[in-house]
Chain A
Amino acid sequence: GAGVSQSPSNKVTEKGKDVELRCDPISGHTALYWYRQSLGQGLEFLIYFQGNSAPDKSGLPSDRFSAERTGGSVSTLTIQRTQQEDSAVYLCASSPPRGSGANVLTFGAGSRLTVL
């Protein structure tokens, strides 16, 4: 597609439920990132995928958070047993292969998660 697509745009869930957030990156972009944006906290890095390399999971806040990227394209961020502090906007971004505009991230519009 022309841009990074995220779904759902809004998700309201009850505490303790699992949620899945989807990201479809720009075609040809080898790198994919997940960030979390909380009010007044800026953007918090969660996880980074680059091609077939092992993902950088160092930003995941707890073992309730996981992400996968199938076929080097679409990614799913899963939050298990959601807590109220998980409420935030989850942003996905992708970037081209190194040496061709690498380091410039293109962001999706985000998935706003509200945990009641």
Chain B
Amino acid sequence: AQSVTQLGSHVSVSEGALVLLRCNYSSSVPPYLFWYVQYPNQGLQLLLKYTSAATLVKGINGFEAEFKKSETSFHLTKPSAHMSDAAEYFCAVSDGNNRLAFGKGNQVVVIP
């Protein structure tokens, strides 16, 4: 079964600094990988997805992620944090059968 590991439940970043959220996956088949963001009292919103096309995936709000098969990773980055990036971020993996396995999430705090 597929699974995802996200380390560090809370991540603090200064406004204007690099945002880096790490995601490592485990899957017995070529995976589909996703990053979702959840703002307070809202559902999850898709940031970006990897589906075996380009390994560098660009998403909304200036975020991007790079699929590295050799490292089984799909880390999320944004060059310059904005106050509006404060939210919870979830990495997820699917084996193509439409059942997503989510990581425990990273709560991002942006420090002015």
A100 CA to B14 CA in the complex, in Å?
39
Name A45's contact: one of B41, B101, B105 (CB within 8 Å): B101
Using CB atoms, name the residue of chain A closest to B91: A42
Q: Which residue of chain A lies nearest to B96 when distances are taken between CB atoms in the complex?
A: A103
Residues in B55-112 with C-beta less than 8 Å from chain A: 90, 92, 94, 96, 98-105
Bound-complex Cα distance A116 to B41 (A): 21
Select A109's contact among B34, B41, B49, beta carbons within 8 Å.
Answer: B41
Expressed in whole angstroms, the minimum distance between the Cβ of A77 and any Cβ of chain B is: 15
Residues on A with C-beta less than 8 A from B51 are: 103
Shortest CB distance B22–A (Å): 15
A107 contacts B44, C-beta separation under 8 Å: yes
> How many residues from B make CB contacts under 8 Å with A?
24
| Given A50-B98, A103-B94, A40 contacting B9 (CB threshold 8 A) | yes
**Interface pair A107/B98, CB less than 8 Å apart:** no
What does the 1/0 interface line of A18-59 toward B look like (CB < 8 Å)?
000000000000010101000011110100101000001000
Q: Which residues of B contact A102 (CB under 8 A)?
A: 98
In the bound assembly, the distance between CA atoms of A91 and B34 in angstroms comes to 17
A30 and chain B: residue at smallest CB distance:
B98
List residues of A (54-99) whose CB comes within 8 Å of B's CBs.
56, 91, 93, 95, 98
- Bound-state CA distance A40–B105 (Å) is 8
Which B residues are in CB contact (< 8 Å) with A103? Answer: 32, 34, 49, 51, 94, 96, 98, 100
Say whether A45 contacts B43, CB under 8 Å.
no
* A93 vs B98: C-alpha distance when bound (angstroms): 11
In the complex, B17 has a CB within 8 A of chain A: no
Residues in chain B near residue A110, CB distance under 8 A: 43
**Closest A residue by C-beta to B9:** A40
Top-5 shortest CB links A-B: A107-B43, A42-B104, A43-B102, A107-B44, A109-B43
A residues sitting closer than 8 Å to B (CB atoms) are: 4, 31, 33, 35, 40-43, 45, 48, 50, 56, 91, 93, 95, 98, 102-110
Question: Could you list some 6 contacts between A and B, CB below 8 A?
Answer: A40-B9, A45-B100, A48-B98, A104-B34, A104-B49, A105-B46
